[in-house]
């Protein structure tokens, strides 16, 4: 079983839709949770960084962490064509050797 599971998609939505991206994980020692956006031929760009459980909002983006279910989500409101990219989740913990574990990424296309 992989440490982090992420549905690869592809996911295609109309402009203005609410997008939900998800990852599940198996290691309860994970404490730090991140979402990255990666455009084609570019490096991953940090979108959201959260510690432990709860919600964090930044503009149109909301990150949720449910440690009891080992489940994290990224919501994108009022999606735009410029949101078309691959979204990677990542996580780490002090008790996991400070190593980051990445999902495989979900490919998102927002259709104008």
Partner 1 sequence: EAGVVQSPRYKIIEKKQPVAFWCNPISGHNTLYWYRQNLGQGPELLIRYENEEAVDDSQLPKDRFSAERLKGVDSTLKIQPAELGDSAVYLCASSFSSNQPQHFGDGTRLSIL
Q: Which residues bind partner 1 (CB under 8 A)?
A: 4, 6, 8, 31-32, 34, 36, 41-46, 49, 88, 90, 92-94, 97-100, 102-105
Residue number, 18 or 71, with CB nearest to partner 1: 71
Retrieve residue 24's tokens. Answer: 């599940």
Residue number, 32 or 61, with CB nearest to partner 1: 32
Taking the complex as a whole, how short is the minimal distance between the CB of residue 20 and partner 1, in angstroms? Answer: 19
Number of H helices, E strands in the chain: 0, 11
Go through 19-34 and write b for each residue having 16 or more CB atoms within 10 A of its CB, e for each that does not: bebbbbbeeeebbbbb
């Amino acid at each position: 079983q992989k440490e982090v599971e992420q549905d690869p998609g592809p996911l295609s939505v109309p402009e203005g839709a609410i997008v939900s991206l998800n990852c599940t994980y198996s290691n309860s020692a994970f404490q730090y949770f991140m979402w990255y956006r990666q455009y084609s031929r570019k490096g991953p760009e940090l979108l959201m960084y959260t510690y432990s459980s709860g919600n964090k909002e930044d503009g149109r983006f909301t990150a949720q962490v449910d440690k009891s279910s080992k489940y994290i989500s990224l919501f994108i409101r009022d999606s735009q064509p410029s949101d078309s990219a691959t979204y990677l989740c990542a996580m780490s913990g002090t008790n996991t050797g400070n190593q980051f574990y990445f999902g495989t990424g979900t490919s998102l296309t927002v259709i104008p």
